[in-house]
Amino acid sequence: MWYLPVIDRLRAIFGNPKDAKLMSWHASDERTKGDGKLWHPTDGKQWKHFDAKFQKEFGNEARNVRFTLSTDGMNPFGDLSSSHSTWPVILTIYNLPPWICQKQRYLLLTCIISRPKQPDNDIDVFLEPLMEDMKILWETGVTMMDASEKKKFTLKAIIFVTINDYPRSSFPIRVDQG
């Protein structure tokens, strides 16, 4: 398994003035709000409920990051009978505008799990380094420099949604974040 630390990637994003400004786009006046349509996850009930519940700890800072964690296995060799499986684990940043949040530049490949068979119930072991970073980002936060505002702030983050496909078995990914 390979792990690419998420905190370092967030430092790089906030270190770029253009990207740092985009990280609070969802809360800016530049986007359409209040027409009753779901244009961005921030328009949804889940986002609003979460902000209301954790307003003081999380919701008051627009730069705090909401991620989607997604993973699915693939066979990199294209042989259906192959005994090799590769599972990329990707974090998508929901703070960003919808027309760029799925661009390769902003998709954070955090883990690559490569083994003879799919991880099944062992996936929690492979996700442990990511969950340790997410625990830090949720509980205490990390000091970041916002290059667009040229000042420091404490960044917090949460895995807001998971998207996974486990056709052979069903098992939960447990994320204890409050």
Give the Cα separation of 46 and 159 in Å (integer): 13
- Beta-bridge partner residues of 157: 65
Question: What phi and psi, each to the nearest 5 degrees, are found at residue 59?
Answer: -70, -20
pLDDT of residue 30: 73
Give CA 146 to chain center in angstroms. Answer: 19
Residue 9 above 90 pLDDT?
yes
pLDDT of residue 169: 45
pLDDT tens sequence across 137-169: 999 999 999 999 999 999 999 999 888 765 544
Token duo for residue 167: 């056709």
Give the model's confidence band at 120: pLDDT under 50 very low, under 70 low, under 90 confident, else very high.
Answer: low
Token duo for residue 172: 């939960």
Coil, strand or helix at 154: strand
pTM, entire model? 0.81
Work out the mean pLDDT of the chain and round it to a whole number. 84
pLDDT-wise least confident of 37-46, 48-57, 81-90, 152-161? 81-90
> Of 56, 79, 57, 74, which Cα lies nearest the Cα of 114?
74
